[in-house]
Amino acid sequence: VSGSMILAGVLLKLGGYGLLRVFSMMQILGTKFNFIWISISLIGGVLVSLICLWQMDLKALIAYSSVAHMGIVLSGLMTMTYWGLNGSYTLMIAHGLCSSGLFCLANISYERMSSRSLLINKGMLKFLLCSG
């Protein structure tokens, strides 16, 4: 779980940070191909979001949603506007904080229930509130 927290919180953001750093060098090339990158990232984000709908494993659900959010970051960067850059930067910071917390909560749930399956764990909140 700690590896997943580091991956989602830090390593995924390094790719976005690298794109931010080389942004000035790729502006000329980016203006020619930005529509393609935006289309690929948005279509990929939608497809990965559809995969999230069928996930039964809590950890896989969080991981796939992280990939979908990085598609939004890439499309924001490729708009090559002030708002796109700031929105991508803000989303990377927020996602880095939230996704590592989600992995931590998934681990706490796994330790208590001994399962990451959403089918097995559904309705446990109601049970745990009554027994606490």
Write out the residue range of the structural domain in which residue 24 sits. Answer: 2-131
Comparison of pLDDT for 103 and 130, the residue scoring more: 103
- Nearest residue to 69 via CA among 30, 117, 127, 15: 15
Q: Tell me the mean pLDDT in the region 96-101.
A: 88
Total count of domains within the chain: 1
**Average model confidence (pLDDT) across the chain:** 85
- Other Cβ atoms less than 10 A from the Cβ of 12: the count is 21
**What is the predicted pLDDT for the residue at 128?**
65
Q: What is the pLDDT of residues 10-64, one digit of tens each?
A: 787 788 888 888 877 777 777 788 899 899 999 999 999 999 999 999 999 998 9
Comparison of pLDDT for 32 and 71, the residue scoring more: 71
